[in-house]
Amino acid sequence: MIAIRTLVLLALPLSLLACSARDSKKHPMKDEPADPALKVVKTNAEWKKELTPEQYRILRQAGTEPAHGKAYEEFKKQGAGTYVCAGCGALLFSSEQKFDSGCGWPSFYDPAKARNVRLSKDFSSGAVRTEVTCAVCGGHLGHVFEGEGFKTPTDRRFCINAGGLKYVPAAKP
C-alpha cells in the first residue's frame, strides 16, 4: 500500500510536466501546419533542382545572406503584399508587419500566419538564439529577437533572409 502511494506521488509531478509540455506545443508560434498532409518533404537532390544555389544554401543549409544585399534592396522597394516561403509557397509574413530595423535584412514584427512559422532554440553560433523556420517544409528563414526597443506592437524583430522569401504583390482593386 505504501509502495503504491509512493509511486503515485512520484508519478504526479511527471504527469504535470508532461501536460505542461503538451500545452506549450499549442502556442501558435510552434504549431505544425493545421493539416499534416500539407507538409512538404523532399530529398536534397529535389531541393537542389528546384531552388537556386542561394535559396538552397539559406533554406536547406541554414545559411545567411550578406546584409544589405541585392535581395534586401528589392525587399525595401516592395509595396503591399505577402511573403511566402521560397521553398514551398507557405504564407509566412505580410507587408503590414514589415518595418525597417536598419539591420540589412527583411524585418517583420509578427508572422502573417503563425501556423506556418516555427520557432526553435538555435545553439549554432555559440549563443542561444531563436531560429525561425517554415513549419511546412522546414526551411531556415532567419532568427527572431525580442526586447530590442523597436516601437512595434510586439517588440520583436523577425530577421529574415530575403532569399528565403518570395514576394506576392497584393491584388489591385
Alpha-carbon separation of residue 100 from 92, 106, 131 (angstroms)? 18, 8, 20
Question: Is position 159 annotated as part of the catalytic site?
Answer: yes
How many residues are present in the chain?
173
The catalytic position among 85, 88, 134, 159 is: 159
Q: Do residues 76 and 100 make contact, with C-beta atoms less than 8 angstroms apart? A: yes
CA torsion, ordered 8, 13, 19, 20, to nearest 10 deg: 170
109-140 exposure pattern, b = at least 16 Cβ within 10 A, e = fewer: bbbbbbbbbbbeebeeeeeebbbbbbbbbbbb
Active site residues: 159
